[in-house]
Structure formats: C-alpha cells, structure tokens
Amino acid sequence: MSKPLQKTTALLLIVTLVIGFIAGYLVHWATTPTAPAEGYVPKSEYDKLATELQGLKAQLQQLQQQGGKPVEIVITAWTQGPERESIYRQLNLVEAANRLNTIFKALGVPATVKVEGDFSTASWTDYRNKVFLALQGGTGPCIFQMEHHYAALLSENGWIIPLDDYVKKYWNWTYYDIISGLWDSVTYKGRIWGIPQDTEARPVYFNKLLLKQLGWTDEQINSLPDRIRKGEFTLWDLLKVAEEAVQKGVVQPGYGIWHRPSAGPDWPIVYLAFGGTLQDPATGKLVADMKAWKKTFDWFYEASMQKRKVISDKITSLDWNRDIHPTVVAGKVLFWFGGTWHKGQWVGSFGLSEEKFWQMFGFALYPAGEPGLKPVTLSQPQAYFISKTCKHPEVAFLIITLATDPYLNSLHAVKSAHLAILHGQLSDSVYTQDTFLAATGYMVEYAKYQPLHPKWSDYNTIIFNVIKGIETGQFNSDQALQVFKQNLQSTLGDQVIIRE
C-alpha cells in the first residue's frame, strides 16, 4: 500500500472511531431519554471518553501535518416518491449529513460526510427493479428506502444488514421515541432490518357535495366517520349508497366507488374488513381464509358493472395522474379508496385548494365488512435499509439516525400528508398545525400491515388479477374463488395455508 493511501486509510479509521465516540457521547449529552434505564454517564467515564477524544483528535492533526488530506466520506442514498411531495425522504438525509458536518467542524474533526444519490419519481416497479439489480450486482447504494415488507425478501437474499446492534447502540438518541408498533413492521425472523421512515393510513374519502345531492344532511355526513368507527355502517351499506347515487344520476355508472388502478398494497383491505387474516404467526406462512375471500369477491362482484354498476370495468386500465386523480378532484366520484398522502398530492399537484378540499371531502376508515366485525385500514410504512456492500455502515446508520428527527420527519409528514412515526412529532409545532394529520391520526390504531414474507408480492399480485377479472367481466365470484385458490397453490406451494 502506498504512503498516501496508508494515511488516507488511517484517517478514515480514526474518523470512524471519532464518529462512534461523538455519537456515543451525544446520546447522553444531547437527549433526555426515557429508556433504557442505563442512559447515564458517571463523571469518571465521561473524563475517560473526553481523554480518548482528545487523543484521536491529536492523531488526526498529526496525520494531516504529515500530508494526509481531510477525509470525505460519501454515503450513497436512493429514495423514492413516486409523488414529488415526498422529496424530504432524500432531503432529510442530506440535512442529517449537514448536521453531522456541523458537529465535526465544531470539534475540529478534519472530515466531512456527503450524501449522494437521487430522489426518484419513477413508478414503484421501475424503482424496485433498479434497486434489486444494483443490489444483486453488488453496486447498490449504501442507504435506500423501500416499503417495509420487502425486509423479508431483501434479508433472505443477503442484500441488507441487520440493524439490531446499531438500534441498541443509538437507542437513546431517537429510537426510544419511535411509536412502538412500527418496529413490528421492520422485524423479520426476530431481527430489525430497517428504520421506519414514515407511515400512513388508507382511508375511504367520500364526496360530501355528492352526498348532499343524495339528500344527506350535514349531520349525517359529518357523523359518517364515527358511525363507521363504531361498526354501524358496513361495506354493504357503502355499496348501497353508491348504487343509489348511480341510479339517481348523481354520478355516472361506474363512478360510485373508485380504487387504485394497479397492483399494490390496498387489495387485501376489503378481505381484512371481512375478518380475513394474511399470515400465520406460529409458522410465518401466508394464509388464505376462503370464507373471507368468498365474501370479498361477492362484494366486488356486486359492485361491478355486471351487477350494481358501481365500479367501472375500465378502472384497472386508467392512469393515476392522467385519469384517477383529476377525476376524483373534479368531484365526479362518490367514494375513493385512497391514501392519506393523496390529500397532499391533490393540493400540491392537482390544483385543489385547502378550502376546497375541506368543502368537498370527508374521510373515514374502511367500514367493517358486516355487522359484528371491525373497521380497518392498512398502513405501509416506508423504511430506510442499509445494503450489505456499504463500506461505512455505521456512518450510514448515523445519517439515518440524525434524519429520524421530530422536526425533519414533520416537514416530510406535512408536505406529503404522511403520519407521524415519532411520539415527539405529535407535539411538534410543524406537525400539530396540520389539521388533516391531526384528524387522521386515530387511524393508525386500526391499521393492519402487509405480511413480511418473501412471497407476499406474488400473493398480492394474484389478488389484484382476480379482482380485475371480476370487474372486467371475466369471472363471477364463484369462478373467481376457484381461480384464486388454484393460483395461490400453484404459485406459493406450501408457503400458503388454505383455510376452507
């Protein structure tokens, strides 16, 4: 190894030690932790650490005087929207590096950390393929963001590193403050593989102006979320109202209920509302409760153009930005099965004012499938992962740690209409000023998550294709159930438990 390279390597090693030291020190210095109980530094320990830091700084200065250049650590990071309102997923990582550099400068550490990468607005499929190909080829970014349930696939392929030890080490910095249920969304086979970046809920938006045209009073409209929450208004009630709107010409045939046009996480929500479960906790295998799926397919069949003409047979061929959002924002759809972040998109990119949003839209949980069951929503937290090929995993983790901050996360939440992941956000002045986030926060209590299983995407694609078949007139509900079962068994084999 040449001498300049030796010096650079030595600097890098010492900088890494300094980073570890600084982080460990600031855990106790800069926070007021509530857990774990051992978050306390005796003066003797503090003096020892301070001496070690001075020693490391002296070594750094000596190497610099000998010709070693200041170290720049580059952390590559790829993040994704696709909605442009979620750009803080990338900007917060950059800001975290800026904050770390400020600490370095104040302490005289001759090093900088730089976050390089980009924020993608491509489709999820294109983004995932890009990430997977890079990880497979060993050229993936150090940090990347993806849906939480991919922790199973990513870890099974050996593409990411477990983060348990880092979470424990930096627990008092910020991780004690993460809403506890979110840890389950990134835990697979007993290990933590990702850090929650945001979460959301998927509500049913209802058009208040159209309900008024149907003769609903303000009291009936305003009490709908609460009636749904109490189980007094079911999915069958919702279907009946949508059918009435079509029959009375309040909306066009096929415009009573709209949902996403493509494959995605929303598809099992109606099944969950009919009491279905997706994963067996004892074995970790996927589950298909055929009684709940029959009720689900019956509901979609009744809503289709074959029966009550509430859901369009063209909807799965529509485009999000060209067709879906403009039509919903134009007030032509009675019920929209969407996500909390859609409100942010409508205001940010589709010309809907705040005033018009509140005038036109209400929002509620997905109603229970039938009396006696519970309302539900589905949450799909985004998470930051660290790739196995990352050369500086602890520095990458420290960047994520500094980005997991109540203020920074609230900037993202408000801009993109995502929900809080930190208790500290619930009292942050940026977050609490947003009326929509405050009004939808309760939905997290009703949220279900997608299973962490390597074959879940295959299962979910089969759901989409079968419901698409119902809506386009290929199947009735009995035929759909038969095709669904055959596809699950042929694709998933013994990884799915069929419950008759």
What is the amino acid identity at position 400?
I
Summarize pLDDT for 129-152 with one digit per residue, the tens: 999 999 999 999 999 999 999 999
Mean pLDDT of 216-230: 97
Tokens matching residue 273: 């509302």
Please check the confidence at residue 35 and state whether its pLDDT lies above 70. no
- Same CATH topology for 70-200+381-449 and 204-379+454-498? yes
Please check the confidence at residue 54 and state whether its pLDDT lies above 90. no
The pLDDT of residue 107: 79
Task: Tell me how far apart the alpha carbons of residues 166 and 173 are, in angstroms, rounded to a whole number.
Answer: 11
Q: Read off the pLDDT band of 319 (50, 70, 90).
A: very high
- Taking a C-beta distance cutoff of 8 angstroms, is the pair 227, 233 a contact? yes
Summarize pLDDT for 395-439 with one digit per residue, the tens: 999 999 999 999 999 999 999 989 999 999 989 999 999 999 989
- Taking a C-beta distance cutoff of 8 angstroms, is the pair 286, 275 a contact? no
In a 10 Å sphere around its CB, with 0-12 CB exposed, 13-18 middle and 19+ buried, how is residue 42 labelled? exposed
Please check the confidence at residue 40 and state whether its pLDDT lies above 50. no
Mean pLDDT of 304-325: 97
Q: What's the pTM?
A: 0.79
The pLDDT of residue 109: 79
Mean pLDDT of 187-191: 92
Between 30-34, 241-245, 276-280, 470-474, the lowest mean confidence (pLDDT) is in 30-34
Q: Read off the pLDDT band of 342 (50, 70, 90).
A: very high
The pLDDT of residue 43: 60
Nearest to 129 by CA among 107, 144, 108, 111: 144
**Residue boundaries of the structural domains of the chain:** 70-200+381-449, 204-379+454-498
What is the amino acid identity at position 115?
V
CATH code linked to domain 204-379+454-498: 3.40.190.10
What is the amino acid identity at position 229?
R
The pLDDT of residue 4: 47
Q: Read off the pLDDT band of 38 (50, 70, 90).
A: very low
Nearest to 365 by CA among 259, 274, 234, 254: 234
C-alpha dihedral sign at 75, 78, 79, 84 = positive
Q: What is the rounded average pLDDT for all residues in the chain?
A: 89
Mean pLDDT of 209-238: 98
Q: Read off the pLDDT band of 41 (50, 70, 90).
A: very low
Q: Measuring CA to CA, how many Å separate 100 from each of 73, 91, 202, 329, 389? A: 12, 14, 35, 42, 22
| H or E element, residue 114 | strand 111-120
The pLDDT of residue 175: 96
- Taking a C-beta distance cutoff of 8 angstroms, is the pair 57, 109 a contact? yes
Q: Read off the pLDDT band of 70 (50, 70, 90).
A: confident
Please check the confidence at residue 46 and state whether its pLDDT lies above 80. no
Task: Tell me how far apart the alpha carbons of residues 432 and 410 are, in angstroms, rounded to a whole number.
Answer: 9
Mean pLDDT of 357-366: 98
CATH code linked to domain 70-200+381-449: 3.40.190.10
Summarize pLDDT for 368-405 with one digit per residue, the tens: 999 999 999 999 999 999 999 999 999 999 999 999 99
Summarize pLDDT for 99-109 with one digit per residue, the tens: 999 988 887 77
